[in-house]
Amino acid sequence: MEFETWWLLGIPIFFGLGWIAARVDIKHLVSESRSLPRGYFKGLNFLLNEQPDKAIDAFIEIVKLDPETIDLHFALGNLFRRRGEIERAIRVHQNLLARPDLPLDTRVQSQYELGQDYLKAGLLDRAEETFNQLVDTQFSGQARRALLEIYQREKEWPRAIEAAKALQEAGAGARQREIAQFYCELAQDELVHTHPDAALALLEQALAADRKNVRATMLIGDAHLAKGEVEQALLAWRRVEQQSVPHVALVAQRLMDGYRAVGRQQEGVNLLKNYLNEASSIELLDVVFKAVLELDGVDAAKQLIVDELKRTPTLLGLDKLLEARMMDAPPEIWEELSMVKNLVHGYTQKLSRYQCSHCGFKARQFYWQCPGCSQWESYPPRRTEELNVMS
């Protein structure tokens, strides 16, 4: 391609256009910065000098003078809430709501943010009142979820059921598992107050919401036991296997006590041994070990532990084996065996924890609702070491 001399004329033209564009951008930037209120820079200066209270006063003054800076307040309030400075966040959002000329959509958003502040601060009555005012606004879904959280914290299970159903009807996702757990909470309370028939009625509703709810099935067995109906209780507890084999460890002791009460210990042992073969568990092993020790003696109990250790080697199992060995150990080695047992047992106490699969919170006992993150059914029914061996 031949070079044309007139192309050189385009170079200064393009250069000039670029210079003009840059000047326009700079003028626009300077114009914008000049249009910002002086209080804006004053507030920033207070923030940089770690004087948040004075910064809030400065920013509040800006909003009074210039509604365009309302987004700044939302950002500031959220920042304070995340940092745990709830009183400051509340102050920011309350001052916004105090403005009589605030647009409706901004007022609704301010209410929602204030409700979040109250919730974070644990002021549940104020939070509930605030979110109830938002259920017919564009923040309906968020408000209903917040109300559901409040009712769970306050253990107002009937209201939690209503809130969960409302969320579900509004298309916010399935809530059947939670609803079933709320009915279980109500049933648990009825059992505590020795009202087994009322508990059974609630548990039927729990299973209607979630047929796979293991807790409901377990509590049905407890309710029948409270009525003196041991055979009915055993039938209920055995149904856990159909819902979740690993969860049979949670009803193992109930089953063994039930079979002992009706004089059929061997049937109970055989059943639990079958469960142990299907789903190895230290909790289940402990129940079977004690039952075999009672029925068949020390040698049979030791062999049970040895067989299980070969199949699933864990320190928790080794701890149980050392316990069995000490039962008939000769006096000359008993002291040494006891020392080893204590060392292993001390270490296994750190491993003998249930762990939430959602947040990782560890606990000595099994929870249906995690104390750390409040998720339902997030605990596997096995201890942490067993889960590590399986993985």
pLDDT tens column, 211-221? 999 999 999 99
Confidence of residue 24 (pLDDT cuts 50, 70, 90): very low
Number of residues that this document lists for the chain: 391
Q: Could you report the per-residue pLDDT of 337-348, keeping only the tens digit for each?
A: 788 777 877 766
For residue 44, pLDDT over 70 is answered with no
For residue 63, pLDDT over 50 is answered with yes
DSSP letter, residue 366 = -
For residue 64, pLDDT over 70 is answered with no
Q: How far is CA 31 from CA 25, 54, 169, 190, 252, in A?
A: 10, 27, 51, 70, 76
Give the lowest-confidence range in 8-12, 122-126, 241-245.
8-12
Read off the pLDDT of each residue in 276-287 and give the average, rounded to a whole number.
86
Express the helix, strand and coil content of the chain in percent, nearest 5 each.
75, 0, 25
Model pTM score: 0.77
For residue 54, pLDDT over 70 is answered with yes
Spatial distance between the Cα atoms of 323 and 341, rounded to a whole number of angstroms: 7
204/301: higher pLDDT: 204
For residue 390, pLDDT over 90 is answered with no
**What is residue 37's predicted lDDT score, i.e. its pLDDT?**
56
Spatial distance between the Cα atoms of 335 and 1, rounded to a whole number of angstroms: 99
Give the lowest-confidence range in 84-98, 103-117, 299-313, 375-389.
375-389
87/25: higher pLDDT: 87
Phi and psi at 18, nearest 5°, equal: -65, -40
User: What percent of the chain has a predicted confidence (pLDDT) above 90?
Assistant: 44
Spatial distance between the Cα atoms of 292 and 302, rounded to a whole number of angstroms: 9
**What is residue 14's predicted lDDT score, i.e. its pLDDT?**
47
Q: Element (H or E) spanning 143, and its range?
A: helix 140-153
Read off the pLDDT of each residue in 162-177 and give the average, rounded to a whole number.
89
Do 354 and 362 touch, CB atoms closer than 8 A? yes
Q: Could you report the per-residue pLDDT of 74-116, keeping only the tens digit for each?
A: 877 887 788 888 898 898 888 888 878 788 888 999 999 999 9
For residue 284, pLDDT over 80 is answered with yes
Confidence of residue 67 (pLDDT cuts 50, 70, 90): low
**What is residue 97's predicted lDDT score, i.e. its pLDDT?**
86
**What is residue 25's predicted lDDT score, i.e. its pLDDT?**
45
**What is residue 21's predicted lDDT score, i.e. its pLDDT?**
47
Which string of b and e fits 294-324 if b means at least 16 CB within 10 Å?
eeeeeeebbebbeebbeebebbbbbbbbbbb
Q: Is 184 annotated as a binding residue?
A: no
**What is residue 7's predicted lDDT score, i.e. its pLDDT?**
47
Nearest to 382 by CA among 317, 325, 293: 317
Average per-residue pLDDT in the chain? 82
Q: Is 370 annotated as a binding residue?
A: yes
Confidence of residue 253 (pLDDT cuts 50, 70, 90): very high
Give the lowest-confidence range in 33-42, 152-161, 273-282.
33-42
Confidence of residue 61 (pLDDT cuts 50, 70, 90): low
Q: Could you report the per-residue pLDDT of 350-370, keeping only the tens digit for each?
A: 667 888 999 989 988 899 999
Structure tokens of 366? 């099994």
